[in-house]
Amino acid sequence: MVRIGTWNVENLFRPGDEGGPADPAVYEAKLAALAGVIARIEPDVLAVQEVGNPAALADLAERVGGEWHCATAGVEAGQRPIRVGYLSRLPLTDVAEITAFPDKLDPIQVDDAGTRLAVMGRAALRARVAVGGTPIDLITCHLKSKLLTFPPGPDGRPRFDTRDEGERARAAVYALSRRAAEAATVRAAATGLLDGRGRDGRLVVLGDLNDVPEAATTQILQGPPGSEITTDGFAQPDRGDGQRLWNLAARIPAEQRFSRRHRGRGELIDHILVSRALVHHVADGDVRTDGAGPTPSIDDDPSRRQDAAGSDHRPVVAAIDV
């Protein structure tokens, strides 16, 4: 049995970092809160998002205690300095970044200035672990947020709202297009790793997808349609199984099926998807979300939580019998 999870740890910066806490006591409180949750959920491998400083991830591993292996992706110049990574009890091998859009996918417009990008805003990261000699490939990602951002106002500060409904609509299109292109990029990486051998190849794609299971961007990652958990076709093998990924959201107890609260409403935006070789080794209730007390509700201004302890997300952890 291996426990693989994903958690957006929310702004994990060291004091003095750009975007980090000014007060070391705030940083220590955050490490303590995060470490307490990790100790309770006991993951063997935890994919993490919003790591601002790789050294802060090492601090967190030290606070949890025991031997951990850490890996993080890089950050492109000009991007907000948060990245994905892994905190793993198992050695990590074949670690590589995923950034460029797949062939034939054109660069997308991302702002009113006409800026076009052909790379993910935040690099995804692949790695491999072995459980009892069985290799499992991993891809973690943090797709473009649904929370909209707008050009700075006259005071030079970032804006998270607008009274110009045309600007709001355009920003929503830019965010959606970017999230879809990023999902296609991760899907292409998964397709390459599976190489049609999903019945035997063990692959887990996980991270903050920034939308719910039913969203078109989330479903891009699933590959060939059909055979979803809870459908009549789930138990029937077919030709799509070599490329499919199954979202384990349906294995989460209904009362836990959220990983964030936005304006008081629970949303499941953090996901774990697995290949055919693993999906039948996860039973109902073997995937859970877990937080440290009540999950805070956020609004459309993430800067309000810059010095908050813990995280605004709940980790999602799957117990997989390999």
The CATH code of the domain that includes 39 is 3.60.10.10
Q: Which two tokens stand for residue 271?
A: 């996901």
Asked if residue 263 has pLDDT above 80, the reply is yes
Distance CA 214, CA 49 (A): 22
Per-residue pLDDT band for 226 (boundaries 50, 70, 90) equals confident
**Residue 292 pLDDT:** 59
Residue pair 318/248 in contact (Cβ under 8 Å)? The answer is yes
Q: Residue 291: pLDDT band by 50, 70, 90 thresholds? A: low
Total domains in the chain come to: 1
State the pLDDT confidence band at 306, using cuts at 50, 70 and 90. confident
The 10 Å CB-count burial string (b at 16+, else e) for 190-210 is: bbebbeebbeebbbbbbbbbb
Is pLDDT of 110 > 90?
yes
pLDDT for residue 21 is more than 90: no
The stretch 91-108 carries a mean pLDDT of 97
Nearest C-alpha neighbor of 203 from the set 259, 246, 141, 142: 246
| Sequence-ordered list of residues with C-beta below 8 angstroms from that of 123, at least 6 positions apart, any chain | 73, 74, 75, 76, 83, 84, 97, 98, 99
pLDDT digits (tens, 9 = 90+) for 52-66: 999 999 999 999 999
Handedness of CA 203, 101, 140, 250 (dihedral sign): negative
Q: What is the pLDDT of residue 152?
A: 84
Domain span at residue 113 reads 2-320
**Please, what is the average pLDDT of the chain?**
93
User: Tokens 């693993």 belong to which residue?
Assistant: 278
Give the span between the Cα atoms of 95 and 259, in whole angstroms.
27
Residue 168 confidence class, pLDDT cut points 50, 70, 90 = very high
User: Residue 219 pLDDT > 80, yes or no?
Assistant: yes
For the segment 85-112, the average pLDDT, to the nearest whole number, is: 97
**Per-residue pLDDT, 222:** 96
How much is the pTM?
Answer: 0.95
